[in-house]
Amino acid sequence: MSIFINPLDQQKIIIGANTSLPSFAVQGDQGSYYSTNGGIAWSGTDVLTSIADTLSDPAVAVDRNGNTFHNFLRKDGLRNKLIVRKSTNGGATWPIEVEIQNVGYRPDKNH
């Protein structure tokens, strides 16, 4: 689990978490949750991506422009991919996804 409190507005909190445990039979996934009122109420999703894959090691952050980032590892066969999703609305939606290139065959602990 990764928790980030926006230093520019401490009422805004973002959490990234593993929402299921990966196994050989079941794919693991990531959840992303956000609060705009200091944690009194929460919104989000238990399924960050629609791709059926194994995800792990969430790390979340917010930049000085208010963009929210959710970073995780995606299993692709024997290889791990380092993925970053970007939200421009505080974590309500995550339309932008990029794979970080040249991180090696099996990157681990992306944070």
Contact 59, 50 (CB under 8 A): no
Which structure tokens are listed for 88? 């421009």
Confidence of residue 12 (pLDDT cuts 50, 70, 90): very high
Q: pLDDT tens digits, residue range 25-65?
A: 456 678 899 999 999 999 998 888 766 566 788 899 999 99
**What pLDDT, on the 0 to 100 scale, is given for residue 20?**
72
User: 15: closest CA among 77, 54, 63, 68?
Assistant: 68
Beta-carbon contacts of residue 91 (< 8 Å; ≥ 6 apart): 14, 32, 33, 34, 43, 44, 68, 70
pLDDT for 23: 55
